[in-house]
Amino acid sequence: MMHSRDTQAGFTLLELLVALSIFALLSVMAYSGLNTVLKQRVATEAEATRLGDLQKIYLLMQRDLEQAVLRPVRGEYGDRLPAMSGDGGIQFTRGGWNNPLGHPRSDLQRVGYAMADERLVRYVWTVLDRAEDTQPLEQPLSDQVTGMDVRYLDASDNWLTQWPSLASATTAGGTPVDTLPKAVEVTLHHKQYGDLVWLFRMPDS
């Protein structure tokens, strides 16, 4: 009488090594693909942040400059500051300052833009005519901007790098009278995008 013996099949060591090698290769490929996707996502988010910052800066400048008004102010030491002044940075008086709570104050506001500590900053004064201890509020806008140039288009269609100038000012009885340029050109030097040139039309031009 003959007896049959069942043989139990299993994986050999070589088969296990081959399977582990294939699994490791697939894992590396999957990680590489996931890592690429994550890097692209981070780069996309960083790009969106940079573009969002620039859009915010543009809208702020547009809103401020297009509401510029002919209102000179007094400086900290009583000196007269023109309605708009610029030599590198820019400072001017604008209208349209919202007052939702109805405080007893003017709807005019003094604002400025300049480079400070290697970043672009917007300055806001809470009063028009300042006292000696008046300090502006600082609103940092971007540390990606490395410099700013401003030009002014006068009534004769000449571009000037300083405002006001003798060529752009008129006189009344020997006293200079404030004027606004027809347009303001702002060039921002950006770390990522190079030179960005924005042109803003003045309200009375």
**Mean pLDDT on 52-75:** 93
Each residue of 84-95: pLDDT tens digit? 999 889 999 999
Per-residue pLDDT of 98-157, as tens digits, reads 766 666 667 899 999 999 988 999 999 988 998 888 899 999 999 999 999 999 999 889
pLDDT score of 100: 64
Instruction: Write down all domains in the chain, each with its CATH number in brackets.
Output: 60-201 (3.10.610.10)
* 2-8 mean pLDDT: 52
- Written as one string, the DSSP assignment of the chain is ------------HHHHHHHHHHHHHHHHHHHHHHHHHHHHHHHHHHHHHHHHHHHHHHHHHHHHHTTB----EE-TTS-EE-SEEEESEEEEEE-----TT--SS-S-EEEEEEEETTEEEEEEESSSS--TT--PEEEEEESSEEEEEEEEE-TTS-EESEES-TTT-EEETTEEE----SEEEEEEEETTTEEEEEEEE-TT-
